[in-house]
Amino acid sequence: MSTIDVDGASLDVEVHGNGPFVVQLHGLTSSRRANADAGLDLTRHLHEHTVIRYDARGHGASTGRPEPGDYGWETLADDLLAVLDRLAPGEAVHGVGPSMGTGTLLHAAVRDPGRFRSLTLTVPPTAWETRAAQSEAYLDSAELVERRGVQAFIRVGRVAARPPAVADQEVPVPDVREELLPSVFRGASQTDLPDPDRLRALSVPTLLLAWPGDPSHPLSTARALHDLLPLSELHLARDPDELSGWPHVLERFLTRQRAAGVTAREARR
């Protein structure tokens, strides 16, 4: 493991494997460790790739500061591109990320599409017209943590309905220090996915992985992205068994991208 310094934070990073680069992100208040515990380490079968995983600023083992603007997806995209510049300079990579990771990847990709060989967008979050209500919920969560502490927020989460795909799992607890958590929530309340017109122009092969029954990650976002992104495919996990197959779905998707790249290079000869 190592650290990479960015403006206002030190990112805790790990790299393993050998082969084409894959960078895997995580969701809001999560971390790479928490992702693995929740069954969302989709890269665990990628033995012929170099996998980069890191904790976003303010999350997990990475540092951060109590500035809401640090946690918008545009800023997190800056961090992602800085990590790639350090660890995979000049390389096009495969990007994988759930929820906040989806937002981070899309902002980075519309800014520098040549940086990505493919995108795997997992449980895309609320966006555009569905974002306002979620933003209010994040502001409420920030106030709850400030007034009553993180344990009150955890108790609220434990009584909320769970999507069928993760109904057999423990409710995750935030992997964010309590003093940073209100700023993390306020930053999330202020951000959104890129403008749809910019996404229509994004010709990067994209795998969309979603599950039903989750208002924070509605199928409407996944379907809208599927309609907008010209080279996308959509897969749903309706139960824990289908969710457990997502690493294999990703593995097959990347195998197809690798084969397509070989074919394209041969055609240019």
Question: Which tens digit of pLDDT belongs to each residue from 27-76?
Answer: 999 999 998 888 789 999 898 999 999 999 999 999 999 999 999 999 99
Query: What pLDDT was estimated at residue 64?
Result: 98
Query: What DSSP letter does each residue of 146-214 carry, written as one string?
Result: HHH-HHHHHHHHHHS---GGGTTSPPPPP-S-TTTHHHHHHHHHT--PPPHHHHHT--S-EEEEE-SS-
The rounded Cα 43 to chain-centroid distance in angstroms is 13
Distance CA 21, CA 68 (A): 31
Distance CA 31, CA 137 (A): 21
CATH topology of domain 2-268: Rossmann fold (3.40.50)
Q: What is the pLDDT of residues 169-217, one digit of tens each?
A: 888 899 999 999 999 999 999 999 999 999 999 999 999 999 999 999 9
Confidence (pTM) = 0.95
| Selected residue with higher pLDDT from 1 and 43 | 43
What residue ranges do the domains of the chain occupy? 2-268
Query: What pLDDT was estimated at residue 261?
Result: 65
Q: What is the pLDDT of residues 127-174, one digit of tens each?
A: 999 999 999 999 999 999 999 999 999 998 888 888 999 988 888 899
CB 184 within 8 A of CB 146: no
Residue 4 has φ and ψ, to the nearest 5°, of -125, 125
